[in-house]
């Protein structure tokens, strides 16, 4: 059914001057379980589940479901993600890949017109960019395999927030304003998130009964309610015949009920490397996050960073990132479709060879190396031509939770761009992703679009162990800058010896083997910037906040410190079950 703007407007209730949000605490230390997210309500949801006897997996799903309500432009059940879990009883790390997939109708020409790539923004705001959502299947697998609670319990806090409403924050209002044109395309989106075509002001209260309804149907009908029931039908209709506002147009997609019914999450072995006494566990392909962070760390490991001036260490961090990105950009994609040379990329010998390319001055741009020579299996050596890095948007959310029994979750999930495709599913209040624009639009490239394929991601939820026990977690939003934020935070924490809150707060420098390094407001002209310029580093003119990260630190005295953002994205929320030592 196609909803009209009028019908959807009834679903939205706006009350100006509502009470301001609860005060957020970005750092908390204590015992029992802990959580860090970017949303006070989401952290509270996780804490409530922990206090009710749920484990970290239950609490992570509860937090994620709440983030879907309060941060609907960066994540939700219309998207997908990657969850890394440390299981205390088994002393092992496992991952759940619930990345969106291309429908069975997809082809390598999906984003070409007359042989040329279509305009990126037009592709984003369309039914054609929507991948089959993986989030609900991922949550289901997490709860069934490793949780203790059912959907009914863990979705309850999010349903409450969607029903009662939440206050529009500065950042929410700002993100809506940035996306007005995209949201104006679609009737249900305009009705839910705009007023007279404009962004809601900070202080307005939004209720989302449609999303509460979707969660209720999942709570009572289970995972099938999403993938086979009326929600599935509504998704397919919205993709194939986008619910346009009068006079607007957008490309349609081609998704079927079978695409949804056939969707599977994948349980994957984590990707593992070692770094200065830590074991670092990350996400394997189709996310390039784990491999690229690991490769850059392997390159850095050969330098005595502690014994050198900070600017020189940061120069090496930037160059290691540049080299790892050259390989990432050339080789990595969905492993079910491409024989990516991950073993070579992770080899310490290959890292040594890449390290030898780092000079006293910043390189402008480096070529991909030859990781195939560093792995036993040299079959199907696809050596693609050098490619220009395709534009990648930078959004998403990351959360992390631990429980009193020592289970730990590091979880990043997304709908890709802010506001995804811009399509709110009529009647159900959630935005559909535009994850398929994470494919490279034209080949030859391992990451070209194909039927059933998962577009390459940068998401890098990470868990680090030391002496066989959890030491810290880290993860971030931010498209390709996810990788550099995770890498830089590990570098700040381990090599520069910063406490985790400072490691997170420090200015982010993101080098993706581009012409210039991405920086944040206030960095250019600083002493730190000038010191790096002496090594030949140059800064991108487009300056914006990079990645609101979240972390946990397991302290030697048995306490846990939850760390969220002190400044970015309107300040994050860190909570522990029992505060203090
Ligand atoms: N689509 C991105 C990825 O998978 C995540 C969204 C973002 O942070 O931009 O890497």
Ligand 1 site, residue 100, Cβ cutoff 6 A: no
Reported as a single tens digit per residue, the pLDDT across 346-363 is: 999 999 999 999 999 999
* CATH class of the 5-266+396-476+544-579 domain in this structure: alpha beta
**Residues 411-426: pLDDT tens digits?**
999 999 999 999 999 9
pLDDT, position 12: 33
Is 90 exceeded by the pLDDT of residue 5?
A: no
Given the CA of residue 480, which atom of ligand 1 is nearest to it?
10
pLDDT at 456 over 60: yes
176 catalytic? Reply is no
What's the token pair of residue 120? Answer: 């990126």
Average pLDDT (215-241) is 98
- Cα atoms in the 13 Å half-sphere on the side-chain side of 222: 6
pLDDT at 380 over 80: no
Confidence (pLDDT) at 49: 98
pLDDT band with cut points at 50, 70 and 90 for residue 21: very low
Residue entry with tokens 């002190």? 566
Mean pLDDT value of segment 30-59: 98
Spatial contact of 80 and 100, defined as CB atoms under 8 Å apart: yes
Confidence of residue 215 (pLDDT cuts 50, 70, 90): very high
Asked if the model's pLDDT at residue 3 lies above 50, the reply is no
Backbone phi and psi for residue 126, each to the nearest 5 degrees, phi listed first: -155, 165
Please state, in angstroms and rounded to a whole number, the distance separating the CA atoms of residues 322 and 109: 30
pLDDT digits (tens, 9 = 90+) for 479-510: 999 999 999 999 999 999 999 999 999 999 99
| Residue 95: strand pairing partners | 84, 268
254 annotated to a ligand binding site: no
Q: Ligand 1 mean position to 421 CA, how many Å?
A: 13
Q: What pLDDT band is residue 383 in, cutting at 50, 70 and 90?
A: low
Question: Could you tell me which of 554, 577, 574, 579 has the C-alpha nearest to residue 564?
Answer: 574
Q: What is the mean pLDDT of residues 22-47?
A: 93
pLDDT band of 9, cuts 50, 70, 90: very low
Instruction: Compute the distance between CA of residue 278 and CA of residue 471 in angstroms, rounded to an integer.
Output: 8
Tell me what pLDDT residue 381 has.
54
Does 49 sit in the ligand 1 pocket, CB within 6 Å?
A: no
pLDDT above 90 (res 443)? no
pLDDT at 444: 86
Domain ranges of the chain: 5-266+396-476+544-579
Annotated catalytic residue within 292, 396, 473, 484: 396
29 lines ligand 1 (CB under 6 A): no
| φ, ψ (nearest 5 deg) of residue 503 | -60, -35
**pLDDT at residue 283 above 80?**
yes
Please indicate whether residue 389 or residue 482 has the higher confidence score (pLDDT).
Answer: 482
Q: Left (φ > 0), alpha (ψ -120 to 50) or beta: where does 401 sit?
A: beta
Q: Is the model more confident about 514 or about 403?
A: 403
Average pLDDT of the chain? Answer: 93
């Amino acid at each position: 059914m196609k909803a009209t703007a009028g019908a959807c407007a009834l679903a939205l209730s706006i009350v100006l001057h509502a009470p301001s949000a609860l005060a957020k605490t970005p750092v908390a230390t204590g015992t029992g379980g802990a959580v860090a997210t970017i949303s006070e309500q989401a952290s509270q949801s996780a804490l409530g589940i922990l206090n009710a006897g749920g484990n970290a997996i239950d609490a992570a799903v509860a937090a994620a479901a709440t983030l879907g309500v309060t941060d609907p432009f960066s994540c939700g059940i219309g998207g997908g993600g990657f969850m890394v879990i440390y299981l205390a009883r088994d002393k092992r790390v496992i991952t759940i890949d619930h990345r969106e997939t291309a429908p069975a109708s997809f082809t390598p020409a999906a984003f070409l017109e007359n042989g040329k790539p279509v305009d990126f923004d037009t592709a984003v705001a369309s039914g054609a960019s929507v991948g089959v959502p993986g989030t609900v299947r991922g949550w289901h697998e997490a709860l069934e395999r490793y949780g203790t609670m059912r959907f009914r319990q863990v979705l309850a806090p999010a349903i409450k927030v969607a029903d009662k409403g939440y206050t529009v924050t500065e950042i929410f209002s700002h993100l809506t304003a940035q996306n007005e044109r995209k949201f104006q395309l679609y009737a249900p989106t305009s009705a839910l998130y705009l007023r007279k075509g404009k962004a809601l002001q900070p202080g307005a209260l939004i209720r989302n009964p449609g999303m509460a309804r979707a969660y209720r149907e999942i709570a009572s009908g289970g995972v099938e309610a999403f993938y086979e029931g009326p929600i599935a039908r509504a998704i397919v209709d919205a993709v194939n015949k986008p619910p346009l506002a009068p006079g607007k147009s957008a490309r349609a997609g081609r998704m079927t009920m079978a695409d949804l019914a056939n969707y599977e999450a994948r349980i994957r072995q984590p990707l593992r490397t070692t770094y200065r006494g830590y074991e670092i566990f990350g996400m394997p392909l189709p996310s390039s996050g784990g491999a690229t962070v690991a490769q850059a760390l392997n390159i850095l490991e050969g330098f005595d960073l502690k014994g050198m001036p900070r600017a020189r260490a940061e120069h090496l961090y930037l160059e290691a990132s540049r080299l790892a990105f050259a390989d990432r950009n050339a080789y990595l994609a969905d492993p079910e479709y491409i024989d990516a040379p991950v073993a070579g990329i992770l080899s310490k010998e290959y890292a040594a060879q890449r390290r030898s390319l780092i000079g006293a001055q910043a390189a402008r741009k480096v070529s991909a190396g030859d990781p195939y020579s560093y792995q036993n299996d040299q079959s199907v050596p696809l050596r693609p031509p050098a490619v220009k890095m395709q534009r990648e948007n930078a959004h998403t959310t990351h959360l992390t939770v631990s429980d009193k029994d020592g289970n730990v979750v590091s979880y990043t999930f997304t709908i890709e761009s802010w506001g995804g495709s811009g399509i709110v599913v009529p009647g159900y209040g959630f935005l559909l992703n535009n994850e398929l624009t994470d494919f490279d639009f034209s080949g030859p490239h391992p990451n070209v679009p194909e039927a059933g394929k998962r577009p390459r991601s940068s998401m890098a939820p990470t868990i680090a162990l030391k002496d066989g026990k959890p030491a810290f977690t880290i993860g971030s939003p931010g498209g390709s800058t996810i990788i550099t934020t995770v890498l830089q935070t590990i570098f700040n924490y381990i090599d520069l010896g910063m406490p985790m809150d400072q490691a997170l707060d420090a200015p982010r420098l993101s080098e993706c083997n581009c012409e210039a390094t991405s920086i944040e407001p206030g960095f250019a002209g600083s002493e730190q910037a000038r010191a790096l310029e002496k090594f030949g580093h140059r800064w991108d003119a487009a300056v914006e906040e990079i990645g609101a990260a979240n972390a946990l630190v397991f302290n030697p005295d048995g306490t846990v410190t939850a760390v969220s953002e002190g400044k970015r994205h309107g300040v994050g929320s860190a909570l522990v079950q029992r505060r203090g030592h």
